[in-house]
Amino acid sequence: MKKTFKYLDQHRHATWLELFFDLVFVSSIGIVTHQLAHTHHNHIDPNQIWMFPLQFLSIWWIWTLHTLFANRFDTDSRYHRISSLAIMFLMITMTAFLGSDLFENYALFIGFYAVIQIIIAGLYINSIKALNESKEYANKCGLIIIIGTIITGTSFLLPDPYKEIILVLGIVFEMIAFILASKNSNVPTVHKEHLVERIGLLSIILLGESIISLTTALRDINWDALSVIAAVTGFIMIGLIWWIYYDSFHVMERLKAMKNGFTLIYSHFFLAMGFVILANVIKHAILNDLYQNDFRVLAIVGMCFFYLGKQTIYFKFLPPFRKPIVINTLICVFITVGSTFLPKIEYALIGITIGMLYYTIGNFKFTLTKDVSRFLD
């Protein structure tokens, strides 16, 4: 009986299977991320820019559905293990169809995506065998995924750009429906420590993409002063991102008002995209292989995604800090935008890093003060 209801432990941590699942997920994300690493005559092809968020969203949503299931209903049963391993294998296979030529293999891609979704729906529906008080919610989640899969599955019948639109609409439908279902059913409270840990582990792995980009770029650079400065600056930026992200990480585990976790996990979609975009920003700055305008767009979008994903959870659940959060973020965005107009992209990276340094220093006061403590468990 203890094993059957292991998920009820409010202090549970990520399992070895979940960590293994994250590694497979990140390997797929790595394939998608590399689309932004390739340049054509010092430009990033517009098709690459569009394909990146489309594929990223699809893979991220699979991870999210599995994580939300594991957070509330994981019993570490053989059925759950086998289903998770099957999803991992299908994700690895599906990765073969990702990239700039996705639409040449779109039917295969959407077929693998649909099978993965159905397996996850089965996990939710089957979870009622072990969780009596949330049968209605588990069934609704499974039904939502099935309906969303039908919507996305029909996309392969349509021409461009309608297939992309339908694919996104199917995922957005599931995202919204999950929120609505959580308001109308007997939903078990999210295990905050577990969910925050899963997201934190995923974030540190995604941040590792920046280290990989930095290491890869160092193999191909001309060892002049600007390249070395860009490499050093890139590592400083990575360190600052790690510092500011995890320095206040413990606060998310204790937010009283966070019951279902959707704000946390949905906002981290932007944060995750910000991480992988900034990994490419650092690489292009070191290699100096991108024209200024392309670099500007990549840097501004990456930093805005990072700030949006980082600050949303605190903005919603810590009202006294909303004004300084907005002011601090706007100043950092202004510094980022201004830096991209410097004459060289290596200088732009330095300016962006200075903005991140300001952001880090400005958040040192974000500690367990009385104003914050009253919003925590």
Could you say which of 116, 149, 182 is where a domain stops?
182
372, pLDDT greater than 50: yes
Question: Is residue 314 domain-shared with residue 260, that is, in the same domain?
Answer: yes
Question: Is residue 156 domain-shared with residue 256, that is, in the same domain?
Answer: no
Could you say which of 156, 182, 208 is where a domain stops?
182
Does the residue 187 lie in any domain? no
Percent of the chain scoring above 70 in pLDDT: 91
Question: Is residue 119 domain-shared with residue 202, that is, in the same domain?
Answer: no
Between 219 and 233, residue with greater pLDDT: 233
147: left (phi over 0), alpha (psi -120 to 50) or beta: alpha
Closest C-alpha among 70, 143, 55 to residue 103: 55
Average pLDDT, integer, range 289-293: 89
145, pLDDT greater than 70: yes
Global pTM reads 0.89
- The per-residue pLDDT for 110 is 92
Question: Is residue 111 domain-shared with residue 209, that is, in the same domain?
Answer: no
- The per-residue pLDDT for 368 is 47
Does the residue 289 lie in any domain? yes
Could you say which of 125, 152, 182 is where a domain stops?
182
Question: Is residue 178 domain-shared with residue 197, that is, in the same domain?
Answer: no
Helix axes 78-95, 46-73, angle to 10 degrees: 180
Highest-confidence range of 100-104, 172-176, 316-320, by mean pLDDT? Answer: 172-176
The parent domain of residue 35 ranges over 6-182
Asked whether the CA dihedral 173, 175, 180, 185 is positive or negative, the reply is: positive
Question: Is residue 167 domain-shared with residue 262, that is, in the same domain?
Answer: no
The distance of Cα 241 from the centroid of its chain, to the nearest Å, equals: 15
Q: Is 164 exposed, middle or buried (0-12, 13-18, 19+ CB in 10 A)?
A: middle
Question: Is residue 129 domain-shared with residue 276, that is, in the same domain?
Answer: no
Does the residue 48 lie in any domain? yes
Does the residue 22 lie in any domain? yes
Question: Is residue 78 domain-shared with residue 212, that is, in the same domain?
Answer: no
Question: Is residue 99 domain-shared with residue 213, that is, in the same domain?
Answer: no
Tell me if 291 sits within 8 A of 309, measured CB to CB.
no
Question: Is residue 171 domain-shared with residue 272, that is, in the same domain?
Answer: no
Number of folded domains in the chain? 2
Q: Is 253 exposed, middle or buried (0-12, 13-18, 19+ CB in 10 A)?
A: middle
- Tell me: the pLDDT tens digits for 122-134? 999 887 555 566 7
Question: Is residue 200 domain-shared with residue 302, that is, in the same domain?
Answer: yes
Question: Is residue 106 domain-shared with residue 161, that is, in the same domain?
Answer: yes
